[in-house]
Structure 1
Amino acid sequence: MALIGYLRVSKTDGSQSTDLQYDALIKAGVDPEHLYEDHASGKKADRPQLDACLKALRPGDTLLVWKIDRLGRNLHHLVNIVHDLTARDVGLKVLTGQGAAVDTTSAQGKLVFGIFAALAEFERELISERTKAGLESARARGRTGGRPFKMTPAKVRLAMASMGNPETNVAALCKELGITRQTLYRHVSPTGELRDDGRKLLSNH
């Protein structure tokens, strides 16, 4: 069960250094021989060392990155990587930054990443819904206001994770999801547990 580290800087002209990342990963216990380093933009798909790093991971290993933006090109890419790692029994730990709560070797870290995954799915569905709402509005010609967005599986999962956090602002959550408070509580309880409508929605997808 090895610790594997991945480093990335955005420029290849030497103006950015991996020193901070390198020192942090070594301090976290990664052997220098188990470090993989790319010099590429975060949006660039071709990252040979990341590919080599992912292939080198074995069940029981843990992948460590300095910050979460060092790993994925975007949220969807990150979610796909972690789903693949989880399926292979490989953990992920983020050492610092906004993603430092992500540690898929712990229950709390898995919950945090579950919220990330739900957000990624929610983002995809929201874009689709907005596109449909725009088309409907254009066809209606003159009708003010669009149809309210429906509850979706991604929204249910995000609501479950959010309502399980006592610090969640319910009004803000409903506004973000584009649903009413009544719709929220038909699907999810105040403590984040599924209700009948939520179970039905998830069971059909």
Structure 2
Amino acid sequence: MAMLIGYARTSTLEQEAGLEAQERDLRAAGCEEVYAERVSSMSERAELRAAIKFARKGDTLVCTKVDRLARSASGLWDIVKELDEKNVGLRILSLGGDTVDTRSATGRLILTIFAGFAQFEREMMLERQREGIAKAKAEGAYKGRKPTAMAKADQVKALAAKGMSMSQIAAEVGIGKGSVHRILTGKTSAAPSGSDATAA
């Protein structure tokens, strides 16, 4: 019996609630199996691979929006081709919930248009982000990301107060011994080679 198989994805920067909302919509649409993951669209998507592998002839892969499946038209068509070879349909809920027959010229045209929009929106978002950073830099308001090591300064000092050595502290908090030395001494130069003094 043909089955609806859902696929949900958010990037690692998006909120968990966004993934839960997609899963809820997919279940409401009748998906019996739902594969979900938080991963960048540019990274390897293990759950998408699993969903496609699980699909059988006559099944339909369902996702809420085109950009959850792919971020470029070429990436989308790679997936569509793979589904076609397995005789698996594709349904995009944002297109009204109807199954898009990717084996027809009309279906392919619809997907191409929406994939193009998704890619365009992403490129515009990135452009606005770059412009915002450039403007902030020009106004002296952009500080960039806080250095990882310095963000752990309080933790480093607390461990040092317990009598742990620099090497032990570095291993505990996941930063280099040189960074530990700079935090504890307030100096910009790295710790001398081979130094493993215990800070009180």
> TM (normalized to structure 2)?
0.49
TM-score (norm 1): 0.48
Structure label with greater radius of gyration? 2
